[in-house]
Chain A
Amino acid sequence: MPALKLTYFDLRARAEPARLMLVQAGVDFEDKRLPAPWDDMAPWTELKPKTPFGVLPVLCVDGEEICQSMTIMRYCAHTYGLGGKNALENAQMDEIVDSIQDMVEKQYKAYLFEKDEAKKAELQKDFNEVALPKFLQQLEARLSKRGGDYFVGSKLSYADIMAYNFCSELPDKAAVTKTPNLSALVDKVANLPNIKKWVESRPKTVC
């Protein structure tokens, strides 16, 4: 088995997707956590120049370093049985995951990055009242078209786990009640034994 080390801050944020893949697949890995930059900047300041792109997370696989959160997630998914069986299935999964990431960035901007209070309120309003409901409907349509149980290939894949992670990180988790198939999928993933155990025992962090 390769020696796997995932380095990130002590946050869920951009590393949780990869962690969830590894946890679901039952793969051993070192879950290295640096203090969040706003708690203690020093460890990250020291490590940053030693990383390939000056950003986290970084996955170390048998001495090879891989960066970029979605690349890491995808690598873990494909290596440990959560990918598709051909390029088309993988593309269908990627489509879901990339669309989710677009929304995640919108959410980050509205809830974390925007500093101007008035602009922030406007962005949050747009996110919750316009962008998110529309997006959830689009996901529901895609899911229903594929049979309603899983996003791709009638089996659990990284698309389903990413959808679960996204929905469980929403400011208003009740937003998914209007999309029944998606809501059922989120519950199903939440109750997978490995995921359930991980979520109950993982460090409790602000994001």
Chain B
Amino acid sequence: MGKVFGKLKKSNNIKLTYFDFTGRAEVSRIILTYAGVKFTDERITDLAAIKEKLPFGQLPVLYYKGVQISQSMAIARFLANEFKLAGRNNLERAQADEIVDALVDLFNKGFEVMFSQGSAEETQKLRKEYHRTVDTELEKLERRLETRGGQFFAGNALTWADIQFFCAVDFLRMMESTAVEKYPLLADLNKRIGEIPNIKQWMETRPQGGH
């Protein structure tokens, strides 16, 4: 682990537990990092050992000043709200949520391919379908971004929807897709998020688990 994580190890009573992988926890890690909040970035290799202690037997889990929260999007939304990345009123929050939910649907399809238990032929078929879906969804997201002013997904200001999108593009790269480059507004948003200093530093120094 780099020097950055030596500093971040002091928990501030905030601990995020997940696998050594980007997956469903990366958006929360980036929200915390962007907000400059110290947290323990716990990475588990043996889920079976702790499964019974988890409220719903799954990761990620957030420990926040004595309270335990599970469900990746509940965690991310909570952190976004805590650190002013959620939207400024109910409608903006819903606009951000809408994008996040659409991206989760896309993530889930990608996970299905990545963790496919089927034959090589079945997996290849799933993969092809996935890449087709990626194109359809990115096109819709490009249009959505355009109707919202072209710079950010909600309230014309940075929200966790933009960060979730950045994570989605990172995941697409893992799935060997550069489809986002075909969509100018999306590609530009992704680039701008990546240039935010705290996020840039995170991407350069994060543990490379699962890549």
Give A contacts to B, CB under 8 Å: 52-54, 61, 64, 66-68, 70-72, 74-75, 78-79, 87-88, 90-92, 94-95, 97-99, 134-135, 138, 141-142
Q: Which of A61, A64, A67, A135 has the most chain B CB atoms closer than 10 A to its own CB? A: A67
Whether B50 is near chain A, meaning CB under 8 Å from some CB there, is: no
Residue of B nearest to A141 (CB): B55
Please pick, from A68, A88, A95, the residue contacting B71 in the complex, using a CB distance under 8 A: A95
Number of A-B contacts (CB under 8 A): 82
List the B side residues contacting A138 at CB < 8 Å: 55-57
Known: A54-B140, A78-B90, A94-B71. A66 touches B78 (CB 8 A): no
Known: A52-B144, A99-B56, A138-B55. A68 touches B101 (CB 8 A): yes
Please pick, from A67, A78, A88, the residue contacting B93 in the complex, using a CB distance under 8 A: A78
Whether B196 is near chain A, meaning CB under 8 Å from some CB there, is: no
The contact string, 1 if C-beta is below 8 Å from chain A, for chain B 123-154, is 00000000000001100100110000000000
- Asked if residues B144 and A90 are in contact (CB atoms below 8 Å), the reply is no
- Asked if residues B101 and A71 are in contact (CB atoms below 8 Å), the reply is yes
The answer for the CA separation of A135 and B90 in the assembled complex, in Å, is: 31
List the B side residues contacting A53 at CB < 8 Å: 102, 137, 140, 144
- Asked if residues B73 and A98 are in contact (CB atoms below 8 Å), the reply is yes
Whether B17 is near chain A, meaning CB under 8 Å from some CB there, is: no
Residue of B nearest to A87 (CB): B81
Known: A70-B101, A95-B55. A87 touches B78 (CB 8 A): yes
- Asked if residues B70 and A95 are in contact (CB atoms below 8 Å), the reply is yes
- Asked if residues A95 and B101 are in contact (CB atoms below 8 Å), the reply is no
- Asked if residues A71 and B98 are in contact (CB atoms below 8 Å), the reply is yes
Q: Whole-angstrom distance from the CB of A181 to the nearest CB of chain B?
A: 15
Q: Whole-angstrom distance from the CB of B98 to the nearest CB of chain A?
A: 5
Q: Which of B46-104 contact A (CB under 8 A)?
A: 55-57, 64, 67, 69-75, 77-78, 81-82, 90-91, 93-95, 97-98, 100-102
Residue of B nearest to A94 (CB): B74
The answer for the CA separation of A92 and B55 in the assembled complex, in Å, is: 12
- Asked if residues A88 and B94 are in contact (CB atoms below 8 Å), the reply is no
- Asked if residues B140 and A91 are in contact (CB atoms below 8 Å), the reply is no
Known: A78-B93, A99-B70. A94 touches B77 (CB 8 A): yes
Please pick, from A61, A91, A142, the residue contacting B77 in the complex, using a CB distance under 8 A: A91
- Asked if residues B82 and A98 are in contact (CB atoms below 8 Å), the reply is no
List 14 A-B pairs, Cβ < 8 Å.
Answer: A52-B140, A61-B91, A66-B91, A67-B98, A70-B97, A71-B101, A72-B94, A74-B97, A78-B90, A87-B78, A90-B77, A94-B73, A135-B56, A142-B55
List the B side residues contacting A52 at CB < 8 Å: 140, 143-144
- Asked if residues A92 and B97 are in contact (CB atoms below 8 Å), the reply is no
